[in-house]
Copies of this chain bind each other. A is one copy, B any other.
């Protein structure tokens, strides 16, 4: 069987459709501060039998069910999921776990044990509701279901914590460390279950498969990790950069994947373990890591996750009772398990519940686990649909609930508050007082306050202390009574205006900030954001040359205006 011209066209169009729809809905999810994988999965629902297959079955069949191109797409998906798990492994930082020791261990052990027990119990109690695929031993199904409830999604959890500014906090580090341990344990347990179930048919037999899985994992976490860390400087020193080191780590990822497929567990397990071993090296350059993660997140991940929905009709296999039961058991087991674990580890009650909720995100990991179980014949479509829904719902709820528990709103950012109206472009004034006048007038209009009052408040603050900061930026500001949402107005001064900055540079970008008198944190958050955005050398000078609002916003969002 070979690819004809027609097959090439179908393959390219299918990949383009999956990528475009996946990225577009992923972007929409991010807009609502949700992980991109949520949108990517939904894209698959739209393109697969659930929606497009119902509305326009001939288009769906032409794009996705055609002979050789479908085989290639499936193979491409195999490579894509291995690379995705490799990138997920890169994010696992084992030294964080070691530093957090007791608290992390307590959360993760209890966070695995409680949902695992819930899962085993439920599978035994309600075999008719939950039940595995016909022909699968009840014990095997129960073990799978218990594992599926125990796993959590490190990338989603990390993203949620970053979004609400908790990633580098004590609480954040406990959550991340516990999630690492759970991920690791969960995948090893699942690999063993796959070995158990396939065991009768595989070349190795059950005990050998289990031994090989544990041996492979342990080797990668010890010898593999140590060796890679030792070799990494030599890779940078003696190979061309970055293609030398990239070539080596991708080769290792593919070999690890092949090894775990040979053992009899899925290829992605090996790629994940190699990712952990590589990512833990302190010699791996940040730039190399970013190239890998960004390319995989933008190309392979959307194509893979959107493909998942192509195989299953989510409406036909939607079993409301099953979905409800899975969702309740999953949330109860995880939140209770991790919450109690955190409390036992010495965390206060409120933070313990926040940890429990944070760990409840299932995200991409749950869905991949479910897909493998579906392909291995352990579960039927209705359970797969229930697991996907559970993964999506737990990921959706995690962020908002933590914010509510900790009463911690998302930090405000200048880029989110700016609008075309609030962007003045080039200022006509040549001195600080004039610039403040122009900016404050526009700000007063937006705040529906009298011009004179706003100008006076900002000028008074400026007189008390000059607001020029390092790098050619000034941030005149004031706190005003009765103001709700903070107001940001930006003006550019390519020739520079003296705002008395400590480094003596004139300001080329002037950001006026008005915040409410009773909003203690807004001003600090926005000042920190401005300083962060314009930290790269020359970024203010570049931003000052932007031709309009969109270009300036692009400069803010990409962290530097240098094209």
Contact = CB atoms under 8 A, between A and B. Distances in A.
The range of chain A's interface size is: 35 or more
Interface string A541-563: 00000001011011111110011
A27 B243 CA distance: 9
A8 B68 CA distance: 16
A12 interface: yes
Contact of A258 (B13, B236, B264, B554): B13
A47 to B, nearest CB: 14
Q: Main SS of the interface on chain A?
A: helix
Interface in A242-262: 242-244, 246-248, 250-251, 254-255, 257-258, 261-262
A15 interface: yes
A56 to B, nearest CB: 19
A20 interface: yes
A1 B330 CA distance: 37
Nearest to A234: B550
A150 to B, nearest CB: 26
A521 interface: no
Interface in A1-30: 1-3, 5, 7-9, 11-13, 15-16, 19-20, 22-23, 26-27, 30
Interface string A244-288: 101110110011011001101001000000000000001111110
B243 A554 contact: no
Interface stretch (A69-77, A131-139, A525-533): A69-77
B68 A75 contact: yes
B261 A12 contact: yes
A282 B563 contact: yes
Interface in A208-237: 232-237
B295 A78 contact: no
Nearest to A249: B298
A243 B298 contact: yes
Given A12-B82, A254-B12, A563-B285, A36 B68 contact: no
A5 B285 CA distance: 35
A428 interface: no
A557 B3 contact: no
A299 interface: yes
Contacts of A240: 27, 30, 36
A298 B250 contact: yes
A558 B5 CA distance: 42
A537 interface: yes
A255 B15 CA distance: 9
A185 interface: no
Contacts of A287: 558
A79 interface: yes
B261 A8 contact: yes
Contacts of A27: 239-240, 244, 247
A233 B298 contact: no
19 contacts: A1-B1, A1-B71, A2-B71, A3-B75, A5-B261, A8-B75, A8-B78, A9-B258, A9-B267, A13-B258, A15-B79, A16-B254, A23-B244, A27-B240, A36-B243, A233-B548, A242-B298, A243-B297, A290-B291
Given A12-B254, A19-B250, 19 more contacts: A9-B262, A11-B78, A15-B254, A16-B251, A16-B254, A19-B247, A68-B75, A71-B71, A72-B74, A233-B548, A237-B554, A237-B557, A242-B298, A246-B295, A247-B302, A250-B299, A284-B563, A290-B291, A537-B537
Interface of A: 1-3, 5, 7-9, 11-13, 15-16, 19-20, 22-23, 26-27, 30, 36, 67-69, 71-76, 78-79, 82, 232-244, 246-248, 250-251, 254-255, 257-258, 261-262, 264, 267, 282-287, 290-292, 294-295, 297-299, 302, 537, 548, 550-551, 553-559, 562-563
